[in-house]
Chain A
Amino acid sequence: MNILVVEDEIQIAESVVEFLKQQKYVVELAQNFTMAKEKIKLYKYDCMIVDIMLPDGSGLDLIRMARNEGVNMGIIVVSAHGETEQRIYGLEIGADDYIAKPFSLAELNARINAVIRRRNFSNSDEFIFNEIKIILSARRVYINNNEIILTRKEYDMLLYLITNRNRVLSKESIVEHLWGDSMGLSADSFDFIYTHIRNLRAKLEAAGSREYIKTVYAIGYKFSEE
């Protein structure tokens, strides 16, 4: 998978690139509008992560240009929090998703995965991890081919964990993923996470899955085989 990151803030760009490389993506970085434009014309990417505010132009123009030229790639708009209208406009002109700064890398990963899946719908509707099988379009989960019934939040949480497997996910990042800004970081929301995780674990293990969801001291959780 080839990913183009268009981001002028070097600190953020570095982290994103490093992270995506860890996720086994082929990543290229464009730090301004001109560079990004050239790269889009020359190479083929599966996904582009584009910041709206660039020193020499608008990320929105890049999206418009790519879509006008019929480039088939997933596009995720990164916006400063305030630019709500712009990111909605971004979606209107052909972006697949948006993510507001500051965002967590795990969240970005989940978004990229979702976008890529949606783009190549036919050959990746199923996600299989050992005994766990997830039918993405239908939001169904099977353990050893036996369906387990998860609530919506449990499903979202499982997918988030499994997409970011082998990574430590903080409670904060999980709260943001599940409820966005609306819930705030209250002690409650951490309780909810705990309850959801407990229920999810119970359901998975009852159906014969191994214990993949590990608690990481102080921070949160991690989905891993070890």
Chain B
Amino acid sequence: MKLATKFRRYFLTVTLGVLAIGGISQFVIYRYTMHRTTDDMLMEYKYDIEDYVRKTDRLPTFNAIELEHSYLIAYNNPKRSNMAINHKKFYENDDIRKKLNISNNIYDSLIYSEYELEQVVYRVTNFPIYTTQDGLSMVTLALPTLEQKQLVFAVFFSSLGLFIAFISSMVYGVKALSKMMRPFYQILDKIRKYDIRTNNSHLAIPRSNIDEFDELSHGLSTMLKRMHVDYISLKEFTENTSHELQTPIAAAIMKIEQLQQICADNEQAMHNISSILNSMYRMSRFNKSLMLITRISNNHFYERESINLTYLIDSYIEDHKEMIQIKDIHIIWNSKRDFLVQMHHLLSDFLINNILSNAIKYNKKSGRLILNFYDSYFEISNTYSNKIPDEDLFKRYVRSENKQATGLGLQIVKEICNQNDLESSITITDELFTMKISKEKRNNTTTV
């Protein structure tokens, strides 16, 4: 998942959660505050009324305009009207109030409002007052308060507003993020295209103003530089070693040859000499292949000319016809046409030699060698005798059961194809080993 998508998803979840919790707590807090305000006003009125009654010993007459949205309902002696308590006693003794079962509670009540023409929520409180003239009266005070519905709407719309603000900031944030991430993708792209063989180990990414990316780029550059240096020194080592090995190998082969002339009568000596000689020849061939590969990958054979591979194959088969006869291999051309490539002439020789010598060498007695040539690709298939290892055959040192082979043949084929815009791939079925060389260079391939 992309970082921006992940970020968006995460952000949305968190925002929704925050808004939900925020909305609820907002609702609770608003309601509490509103109620507190209304309740305070109710209390003010209550004390005013009580104060008035205490001073004048009369029920107040209320100014209608002043209490436009409030109710004042006075009942005459609703309970225990005959209770003998005097005015002073009533106000000074809380016990009496308790006995009268009068609570100080303030509660919500729906009352029809003539102003709003519907039932609205009022905060209501009841309290008793005492006058000598009227005895004990119960006063009910009610003040309209914020409606639940209105409150929900208010909270919902304010949350929605916040949500939209969050989303737009997120959209901007994601845009800014992808802009900020640009150096990262540049680095990624460079790494993807990085070829250890080229000298361009520096990532060459313009400095961003983000320290982390600059550090990443710098760190990677250092790493790639080191890798390149290691690669070069390893390559040089291989080159030098194989080059330096040639002379001692040549000298050894000559000395052994001389030795075998002297020891011709000694069977045990000859047996040993034979093993040494065989090893020396193998070493020599291995060395040659190794040198060839390094030279190909060093682009040593850069001159190109037009070469007809079909012609080369014909001459190879002609040149090895006795071998083919002895092994009784049937050559089958399913489709034959000229196959022209632009390539150094030595490389085309190496290429065809390696493919065909493998196809003959690993073929079984009375096997088949099938050639299919088309405009954009050709396939050379052969029946095989030994089990073919499952590993990546193009990798170096993968060998069949034939202990004499160096295992570098396919690597040479691959290297030549790589250097000459050709694509090489191998398919193995129960019966056939097929090498396919095609002209289109695909980007995505399973084999090379």
Residues of A that sit less than 8 Å from B by CB: 9, 11-12, 15-16, 18-19, 80-82, 84, 101-106, 151-153, 167-168, 170, 172-173, 176, 179, 181-189, 191-192, 195-196, 216-219, 222
Could you tell me if A183 and B278 are in contact, using CB atoms closer than 8 angstroms? no
Does A222 contact B264, Cβ atoms closer than 8 Å?
yes
Q: How far is the CA of A163 from the CA of B56 in the complex (A)?
A: 153
Can you name 16 A-B residue pairings with CB atoms under 8 Å? A11-B254, A12-B254, A15-B251, A19-B258, A81-B291, A82-B292, A101-B246, A102-B253, A105-B258, A106-B257, A182-B353, A184-B405, A184-B406, A188-B327, A191-B326, A192-B322
A64 to chain B: closest CB distance in Å?
Answer: 22
In the complex, the chain A residue whose C-beta lies closest to that of B280 is A102
Inter-chain CA distance A170–B360, complex, in Å, is 23
Task: Tell me which of B1-9, B61-69, B92-100, B266-274 binds A.
Answer: B266-274
Q: Complex: how many Å from CA A216 to CA B263?
A: 11
A-B contacts counted at CB < 8 A amount to 131
Q: Is the CB of B323 within 8 A of A183?
A: yes
Q: Is the CB of B281 within 8 A of A185?
A: yes
Known contacts A184-B405, A192-B323, A218-B274, A16 near B246 by CB under 8 Å: no
- Asked if B254 contacts A15 (CB within 8 A), the reply is yes
- Stretch among B145-153, B158-166, B169-177, B282-290 lining the A interface: B282-290
Please pick, from A9, A183, A185, the residue contacting B247 in the complex, using a CB distance under 8 A: A9
Contact between chains at B322 and A151 (CB < 8 Å):
yes
Q: Are B264 and A192 in contact (CB under 8 A)?
A: no
Q: Is the CB of B326 within 8 A of A15?
A: no
In angstroms, Cα B257 to Cα A183, docked, is 21
Does residue B304 face the partner (Cβ distance < 8 Å to A)? Answer: no
A80 touches B246 (CB 8 A): yes
Residue of B nearest to A106 (CB): B257
B330 within 8 A of A: no
Judge whether A105 and B322 touch: CB under 8 Å.
no
A81-B288, A84-B346, A102-B284 given; A185·B278 CB < 8 A: yes
The reply to whether the CB of B82 lies closer than 8 angstroms to some CB of chain A is: no
Q: How far is the CA of A195 from the CA of B326 in the complex (A)?
A: 8
Beyond known contacts A184-B285, A185-B285: 9 more, CB 8 A cutoff:
A15-B251, A16-B254, A19-B254, A82-B291, A105-B254, A173-B257, A191-B326, A196-B322, A218-B267
The 10 A-B residue pairs with the shortest CB-CB distance, nearest first, are A102-B250, A15-B254, A11-B251, A218-B274, A172-B281, A182-B353, A101-B250, A185-B404, A218-B271, A102-B249
Chain A CB within 8 A of B402 CB: yes
Instruction: Find residues 356-375 in chain B having any chain A CB closer than 8 Å to their own CB.
Output: 357, 360-361
Smallest CB-CB separation from A167: which chain B residue?
B261
Q: How many residues of B contact A (CB 8 A)?
A: 49
Nearest Cβ on chain B to A224's Cβ, whole angstroms:
10
Name the interface residues of B285-317: CB closer than 8 Å to any CB of A: 285, 287-288, 291-292, 295, 316
**Cβ-neighbour of A168 out of B254, B264, B278, B285 (below 8 A):** B264
Question: Which residues of A lie under 8 Å from residue B253 when comparing CB positions?
Answer: 102-104
Chain A, residue nearest B327 (CB): A188
Residues of A within 8 A of B441 (CB): none
- Taking a contact as CB atoms under 8 Å apart, the answer to whether B404 and A187 are in contact is yes
Counting CB contacts under 8 A, is B337 at the interface?
no
User: Is residue B422 within 8 Å, beta carbon to beta carbon, of the partner chain?
Assistant: no
Q: Mark B206-220, 1 if CB is under 8 A from A, else 0.
A: 000000000000000
Question: In angstroms, how far is the closest chain B Cβ from the Cβ of A49?
Answer: 13
Q: Does chain A have a CB within 8 A of B79?
A: no
For B249, list chain A residues within 8 Å (CB). 101-102
How far in angstroms is the closest Cβ of chain B from A22? Answer: 8
CA distance A90 to B265 in the complex (A): 41
Check B197 for interface membership: any CB of A closer than 8 A. Answer: no
Residue among B248, B257, B316 facing the most chain A CB atoms (10 A cut-off): B257
- Distance of A191 Cα from B360 Cα, bound (Å): 13
Contact among B260, B346, B361, B405 for A170, CB-based, below 8 A:
B260
B248: chain A residues at CB < 8 Å are 11
